[in-house]
Amino acid sequence: MLFTRKDFPEGFDFGVATSSYQIEGSRFGGAGRCQWDDFAATPGNTKNAENGSIAVDHYHRYESDLDLVAAGNFDCYRFSTSWARVMPDGFTVNPEGLDFYDRLTDAMLARGIKPCATLYHWELPVPILDRGGWRNRDIADWFAEYTHAIMSRIGDRMFSVAPINEPWCVAWLSHFLGYHAPGLKDIRATARAMHHVLLAHGRAIQTMRDLGMTNLGAVFNFEWADPADHSPEAAEKAALYDGIYNRWFLGGVFRGEYPANVLEGLGPHMPDRWQDDFPTITTPVDWCGLNYYTRKLIGPDGGAWPGLKEVEGPLEKTLMGWEIYPEGLYNFLTRTAREYTGTLPLIVTENGLASPDVIENGTVDDPQRSAYIEKHLQSVRRAIAEGIPVKGYYLWSLMDNYEWACGYEQRFGLVHVDFDTLERTPKASYHQLAQNLRR
Ligand code: FCB
């Protein structure tokens, strides 16, 4: 990888990201069941019906995992706190859960690592789901109570906090496409989730402001959409995909409006007086996080709204089948700043790929990952050179983990994990990054 810290502005942060359900082991420490435990127990939802009950047992191995973050010369560790661990029934605090995140925080600080928390990376307690989950407007208040519980314990030591990881996944992927928990395919549930997820974001930001916290942000996943051909129909559908995936959330949080092409379909299913919630949703944040992986080629499928069809693209692909398209990251950094966030700091909060990594003679060669990282960092540098205020870049992920519906098949880590012995082995890309990021 051809870069060093000198190629980035002073104070630019490099980090690695994980999430609680994907690594901790949901059966440990008195955590309650979360929606993923039940979703995975339903045949056909996850690869081999795999779940995160043990995951990679980070709950017991966090000290040595944080040693890997420190030895990799990363500045930041982006982790998530699990609502189901902190409040197993959704409402009552589990002291063991608070203690765990307290220990984890101190273990980061002891190693000079900046703690970057996400309050929700999809660990919905099932009693909340039973009350309608993201369909129920009250979730915004319940989420604010959870925010208060965890942040009144560890908020004094956080470097940064974002309430919700990837609202598109929380709402659209999980309630319209049905690929993620709770696995619904229901436009009314989707419209409500699309709105309530942003309302909960706003309430959590307000709650943390009331606690006196600073450096609060929002984290979105963006996918670049190109028309599958030169027809006006493909252009229209690519714009709709962009609206649903990207502009809905940026528009909501930074402009207090939703895109017209998305409201065309969701409008009739929105909760009453949704417009009145924008003052909460637009509560100012201090930075905007972008998770970026790929692009899609989009055309019409001829069916009912939204009527989108994904067409296979010609570019090199990762193990997930995702095209490698670093220009998309440049496009999003520049467009987000120019159209939505202005001078607000931007952080690439996730970027990375899955590859078929195997251990041979004690080492793991992952050249596709190194090349991917290098190309995406070039996009970051290009945006910075044009004056876009990009302040950090975090890799997904520190180590191989539970990749949701794909189970343990997709390895996104810089560190290989043997899922039988749980042994950690840093891959070649990890060693290269550690070298390039020396201070
Ligand atoms: C993101 C998620 C993360 C992981 C990566 C591959 O959408 O935030 O948990 O699944 O994709």
Please work out whether the CB of residue 46 comes within 6 Å of at least one atom of ligand 1: no
Residue 425 pLDDT class (50, 70, 90 cuts): very high
Tokens 């994907």 locate to: 22
Distance 141 CA to ligand 1 centre (A): 26
Residue nearest to atom 10 of ligand 1 (CA): 403
When pLDDT is cut at 50, 70 and 90, the band that residue 2 belongs to is: confident
DSSP calls for 316-380: -B-TTS-B--HHHHHHHHHHHIIIIITTS-EEEEE---------BTTB---HHHHHHHHHHHHHH
Per domain, the residue ranges of the chain are 5-436
> What's the mean pLDDT in 397-411?
98
Q: What class, spelled out in words, does domain 5-436 have in CATH?
A: alpha beta
Hey, which residues are catalytic here?
A: 166, 350
Q: Which two tokens stand for residue 337?
A: 């700043």
Structure tokens at 27: 């059966």
Helix axis angle for 95-110 and 58-71, nearest 10°, is: 20
- Using only C-alpha atoms, the chain has a radius of gyration, in whole angstroms, of 20
In short, whether 403's Cβ falls inside 6 Å of ligand 1 is yes
CB of 18 within 6 A of ligand 1: the answer is no
**Alpha carbon distances (Å) from 235 to 20, 225, 306:** 38, 9, 13
User: Which of 47, 220, 404 should be mutated for ligand 1, with most atoms under 8 A from CB?
Assistant: 404
Q: Is the pLDDT of residue 1 over 90?
A: no
- Alpha carbon separation from 430 to 4, 22, 437 (Å, rounded): 14, 20, 10
Share of the chain above pLDDT 70, in %: 100
Exposure of 53 in the CB half-sphere (CA atoms within 13 A)? 10
Q: pLDDT for 180-231, tens place per residue? A: 999 999 999 999 999 999 999 999 999 999 999 999 999 999 999 999 999 9
pLDDT at 134 over 90: yes
pLDDT higher than 90, residue 174: yes
pLDDT tens, position by position, 298-345:
999 999 999 999 999 999 999 999 999 999 999 999 999 999 999 999
Ligand 1: residue of 22, 170, 292, 403 to mutate (most ligand atoms within 8 A of CB) is 403
**pLDDT confidence of residue 367:** 98
Which residues lie across from 117 on neighbouring strands?
79, 161
Q: Could you give the 3-state DSSP secondary structure of residue 145? A: helix
Q: Using alpha carbons, select from 61, 249, 81 the residue that is nearest to residue 166.
A: 249
What is the rounded average pLDDT of the residues 76-89?
99
Confidence of residue 232 (pLDDT cuts 50, 70, 90): very high
Residue 184 pLDDT: 98
Neighbour count for residue 81 (Cβ, 10 Å):
28
Q: What are the tens digits of pLDDT across the range 109-118?
A: 999 999 999 9
Q: How far is the CA of 210 from the centre of ligand 1 (A)?
A: 30
Beta carbon of 221 within 6 Å of any ligand 1 atom: yes
pLDDT-based confidence at residue 401 (cuts at 50, 70, 90): very high
Ligand 1 in reach of 36 Cβ (< 6 A): no
Task: Tell me if 404 CB under 6 Å of ligand 1.
Answer: yes
Residue pair 77/15 in contact by the 8 Å Cβ criterion: yes
Pairing of the two strands 13-17 and 390-396: parallel
Handedness of CA 5, 9, 12, 14 (dihedral sign): negative
Provide DSSP, 222-256.
Answer: EEEEEESSSSHHHHHHHHHHHIIIIIHHHHHHHHS
Phi/psi of residue 317, nearest 5 degrees: -120, 160
pLDDT for 262 equals 99
Residue 68 three-state SS: helix
